[in-house]
Structure 1
Amino acid sequence: MTRAAAPVIEKSPSQTLKAQLLLRDLIVQGALKPGERVSELQMVDRLGMSRTPIRAALVRLEQEDLLEALPSGGFAVKAFSERDFAEAIEIRGTLEGLAARLAAERGVRPAQLREARALLAELDTVVRRETIEIDVSLYVELNARFHALVIAMAGSTALARQIERASALPFASPSALVPVQTRSPESHHILTIAQDQHRCVIAAIERREGSRAEAIMREHARIAHRNLERAFADQRDLALVPGAALIRRAEV
């Protein structure tokens, strides 16, 4: 009996994940508008999936803060203000700063430092001065790995969980605003600064300088704030921000 039930148990999470990804895309791309009601039955028809994985996916997206539960039942797509966008980035940067400080104070394994140096070398090849146009997709991948490594260095499952939640909002992840940055005339200069901050935070962690590591990592998040301000000033740039369709612009 146990063996016969195993395929069903294995299939359910993959169906839930599929529903979650499909729904997230509809929300982030603006196919489901801020404030729009989202129900299980509605999504069953739209996605052609059963109610069970869709129900689980809706709950997960509420946990990611992309949906909000309605008193009458069902969910609604959450709307965000410009301030919400900025605060999400600030929260993520603050938590990553804490991760860097814990990593420095607790000490990290030699293997993690070797991995960090290898990552820094790879990032150097992307942002090297003689390059006119950077490989954005490669930079995003390496940057995500760098941030994940700093979080892993902290050795705190609880903190990692909170950072994952803070970064789940599409516009709050470490590389979410890199496409906006690449449109700036100062793009290469900003990337060079960001890479120097990467090096400095690893050096501070290695030297067990907790306060310095935290300060650098928090300052590193200010680059995302700068890119966000640029996006708010230009509709073409804002269109490059993941989840921009969810924003409720402040009235002038």
Structure 2
Amino acid sequence: MTLRQQIASGELPGGTRLAEIPTAQALGVSRMPVRMALRILEQEGLLVRAGARGYTVRSVTLDDIVAAVEVRGVLEGLAALRAAERGLDQVADTALRQCLADGDALFAKGHLIEGDIAAYEDMNIRFHEVLLAAGGSQAIREALMRNDHLPFASVKALAADKNDLEREFRRLNYAHMQHHAVYDALAKGQGARAEALMREHANATLAYTDLLSGLSS
């Protein structure tokens, strides 16, 4: 859902007013799907009613975001623990290796261009989705889906400073090196290590709270 992604990424910050007709016009769709989407997002807690016909994006604090990132670390850590203990099947192993190769190619040139941010985000999402599937727990998936409703909590909502690509190279390259370490632990069946590494991988985001606080309310 486009609106959910815009809220999660901070493109629509807390306090933004959303009305059915202008939102439908901006998205180039009819009013009915927008009306349904707004109601769903209200039920999920992302929007609050603002009069009879409008909504506002719910404001969240930096503390809310930090807590949500920490929760993601716990849940993804548990998925990594289960994946390591279960053992990677050939499909998961191949998919994770491909993610590592794609990331290696991205960082091999020693710098990033603006388009690389989207390429990294795509690879990162694939890595996390494969790991989550390898964990084999619907309960973890559902818990993550609920947690992901908060802005910036989802792995699909990468906050990046495109005006400082040198910094982003260092940050994302470090995150990718963590991907390598996680895969190594998974491949060796080291559950406790995989869990700890995934928690650290999520929590590393918190070293860049300036990116988050600049977009939250």
Give distance in 1, aligned partners of 2:174 and 2:78.
21
Question: What does the per-residue CA deviation read over 1:25-52, in whole Å, with 9 as the maximum and x for residues that have no partner?
Answer: 489544x86285x6xxx5257537455x
User: Do residues 67 (structure 1) and 47 (structure 2) align?
Assistant: yes
User: Do residues 43 (structure 1) and 20 (structure 2) align?
Assistant: yes
User: Do residues 197 (structure 1) and 174 (structure 2) align?
Assistant: no
Q: Is the 8 A contact 1:166 1:172 kept in 2?
A: yes
Aligned match for 1:131, one of 95, 104, 110? 110
AA at the equivalent of 2:193: R
Deviation at 1:55, TM superposition (A): 4.5
Give distance in 1, aligned partners of 2:5 and 2:175.
29
> TM-score when scaled to structure 1?
0.69
User: Do residues 151 (structure 1) and 128 (structure 2) align?
Assistant: no
**What is aligned with 1:15?**
none
Give distance in 2, aligned partners of 1:25 and 1:136.
17
| CA 160–182 in structure 1, closer or farther in 2 if over 3 Å, else same | farther
User: Do residues 120 (structure 1) and 97 (structure 2) align?
Assistant: no
Deviation at 1:95, TM superposition (A): 1.1
> TM-score when scaled to structure 2?
0.79
Question: What does the per-residue CA deviation read over 1:192-230, in whole Å, with 9 as the maximum and x for residues that have no partner?
Answer: 321221011111112221111110001001221112245
Deviation at 1:152, TM superposition (A): 0.9
Q: Is the 8 A contact 2:152 2:159 kept in 1?
A: no
Percent identity over the alignment? 33
Aligned match for 1:207, one of 174, 183, 188? 188
Aligned match for 2:63, one of 83, 99, 102? 83
Residues 1-252 of structure 1: matches in 2 within 5 Å? 21=2, 25=6, 28-30=10-12, 34=15, 42-44=19-21, 47=24, 49-50=30-31, 53-68=33-48, 76-128=56-108, 130-134=109-113, 135-174=116-155, 176-180=157-161, 183=164, 185-229=166-210, 231-232=212-213, 238=214, 244=215, 247-248=216-217
AA at the equivalent of 2:102: E
**What is aligned with 1:4?**
none
Gaps spanning 5+ residues in structure 2: where? Answer: none
AA at the equivalent of 2:122: E
Question: What does the per-residue CA deviation read over 1:133-185, in whole Å, with 9 as the maximum and x for residues that have no partner?
Answer: 25211111111111111111111122112223322434122253452387275
Give distance in 1, aligned partners of 2:81 and 2:162.
27
Give distance in 2, aligned partners of 1:98 and 1:137.
27
Give distance in 2, aligned partners of 1:164 and 1:193.
26
Give distance in 2, aligned partners of 1:97 and 1:184.
29
Q: Quick check: which has more Rg, 1 or 2?
A: 1
| CA 175–43 in structure 1, closer or farther in 2 if over 3 Å, else same | closer
SS of 1:180's equivalent in the other structure is: coil
More moved, 159-168 vs 198-207: 159-168
| CA 177–152 in structure 1, closer or farther in 2 if over 3 Å, else same | same
Question: What does the per-residue CA deviation read over 1:59-81, in whole Å, with 9 as the maximum and x for residues that have no partner?
Answer: 321354312468x9985531111
Question: What does the per-residue CA deviation read over 1:69-117, in whole Å, with 9 as the maximum and x for residues that have no partner?
Answer: 68x9985531111111211211222211111111112222122112211
